[in-house]
Structure 1
Amino acid sequence: MNTEKFNITPFKDAYTQWLFNRIKFWLEDAKKYSEITEKDFEWVETLMEESKEALNNLSSPTFVMGDFKPGNFLIYLEDSGWEISGVFDFTNSYFADPISDLIKMITYYLDNNERKIAKHLVNVYCRELEEKEDLKKRIKVHMLHQRVLDWGCAKAMNMVTWDNELPFSKWVEAYTDSAASLLE
């Protein structure tokens, strides 16, 4: 978004290419702080290739906050139930795939053994969106994107909270598969 001209600046390349380039950049960066093997790179390339068509066919670009997580929104109890009443921190916002904003919440719920809540969130949010198989492919790539950022950060700061011997591709695959299975 161009805040001087108050218009939306399109991605230099297509959204899919932008996203894939970001993933590759941060994976390469993570090599500085951890072991990222050729097998890890191959796994990432395969996952991206398998999702490319689903991302290219994205038909509902929308506002993406880029950092939707606890602490960046307020909730309020209405007569009809809980509602989001305020959203903060638009530093990473852009217009693209709406399901990408679910990733931090899905991760939060999965890490806290709240799979049922994660499944409910995903299914309510995605009930009127496109074909489930395309959604599964897209959600896997968005989870990969977030997890490569988290991996690199945790390794660089020596703050790993998981089995430190686990290869990157195995660690992130558990998340991508879990996220996709929430749509079943």
Structure 2
Amino acid sequence: MMSIEFSNRLGLISELQLQAALAHFNLGDFIKAEPILFGNFRQNLYLTSTKGEYVLRGVPHTPWQFEHEKFFYKLLFEKTKVPVPLPFLIDYSDDIFGWSYVIMPRIKGLNLSDPKVKNKLTENDLEEISKAMGENLILMQELYWDFPGHYDPKLKSIKKLNKKYQEWIFYQIYYYLDLSIRYSKITHVDILWVDNLLKQGIKAMQYPFKPCFVMQDYKEDNVVLEKSNDCWKVAGIFDLVDAYFGDGETDLSRNMAIYLDKNPNLINAFFRTYAAKRKLRPGFERRFPIYMLKDRLMVWEFVHREKKVWWQGSPSLHEWAERYTSIKLPNI
């Protein structure tokens, strides 16, 4: 039987293999499979059977990626009102595809990664969606933990950071700065700029916080949306591969950076919605550039390593990143 390449990462997959995966979880008979054309890593495909519509996710980044994601999906389901794709069915064996995989329900909704979908939306739609993103971020951050930390596959739970949170954030910034040196030109001026930005915010980073869920890649591309009674809401979230427990303010960064690039008018609606219900701690104006810098360094390192730079010209790191770290925050 003919095999189809759904993405470079997934490789060639046959109908027989997909039927075997469905049968493993008693999910009915195979009807069709479709590629998902969006996303950086292309780990997913749509899968339809006689029992429903699903997403198959394969080729994990680490042996524990799927259990890490399931851990957070389960907590979000139990502790919040955030819509998540459960059951999250993991087959750890590589017998069928040569790699482990997950099958989860396909959540109905619009994915704005699809230009055909986004191009049909009005400016009012986009503004209301940005508000919905703020509302959903608040809901996600109702998931708390006793301490900041990451999922540990040995513990099957959260392991406390081995540093104070402020020290860990600074460590992460210099870690990605160091990685960036391998793939791009980082100047002495760039390093001094980073040093100075951290010095300006070090006192603000001392304010205590209640550790909550941090998705780290929170953006419109990682949710599906629906409109009901002229009201937009997030219908589901996905891709929790980088999730951890930390300072919730961190998750403002990526979505605001994307809005700055594509539609700066949406920053106000998103930020105001969040800040109206999630009280910002003293020193936020100094912490925000630090969290944004961490996010931008992660993006800078990734796009240079993968040769996916999308911006025009050849700005230095600090020239490129300062546009984001100096976003003018709306008055609350």
Q: Which amino acid aligns with 1:67?
A: D
Instruction: For residues 4-54 of structure 1, give each alpha carbon's deviation from its aligned partner in whole angstroms, at most 9, with x where no partner exists.
Output: 655432111011111111110111111112211111111111111222222
Secondary structure (helix, strand or coil) at the match of 1:39 reads helix
Report matched runs for 1:32-71 at 5 Å: 32-71=182-221
Aligned CA RMSD, in angstroms, stands at: 2.0
Q: Within 1, Cα distance between the matches of 2:171 and 2:247? A: 16
Q: Give the number of the structure with larger relative contact order, counting CA–CA contacts within 8 Å between residues 6 or more apart.
A: 1
- Counterpart among 119, 133, 158 of residue 268 in structure 2: 119
- Please list the CA deviations of residues 63-106 of structure 1 after superposition, one character each: whole Å capped at 9, or x if unmatched: 11121122321222233721222111221111111121122211
Normalized per residue, the structure richer in helix is 1
SS class of match (1:63): strand
Alignment of 1:130-149 (within 5 A): 130-131=280-281, 134-149=283-298
Percent identical: 26
Counterparts in 2 of 1:84-95, with a 5 A limit?
84-95=234-245
Give the SS at the match of 1:9: strand
Q: Please state which structure has a larger fraction of its residues in strand.
A: 2
TM-score by length of 1: 0.87
Unaligned regions of 5+ residues in structure 2, if any?
1-150
* Aligned twin of 2:232: 82
* Bigger Rg over Cα: 2
My pick for the range that moved more, 94-103 or 150-159, is 150-159
Other-structure match for 1:182:
329
Q: Distance in 2 between matches of 1:41 and 1:90?
A: 31
Using the alignment, how far apart are the partners of 1:105 and 1:123 within structure 2? 13
The one of 20, 24, 27 aligned to 2:170: 20
Return the alpha-carbon distance in structure 2 between the equivalents of residues 26 and 160 of structure 1.
16
Corresponding residue SS for 2:226: strand
Count of residue pairs the alignment pairs up: 180
Q: Secondary structure at the match of 1:152?
A: helix
Moved over 6 A (4+): none
1:58 Cα deviation from its structure 2 partner: 3.6
Partner of 2:300: 151
- Name the counterpart of 2:258: 108
**TM-score normalised by structure 2 residue count:** 0.50
SS in 2 for 1:75: strand
**Partner-residue secondary structure (3-state), 2:235:** strand
Contact 1:58 1:97 in 2 (8 A): no
Aligned to 2:217, the other structure's residue is in SS state coil
Q: Which runs of 5+ in 1 are unaligned?
A: none
CA–CA separation in structure 2 for the residues paired with 1:104 and 1:80:
27
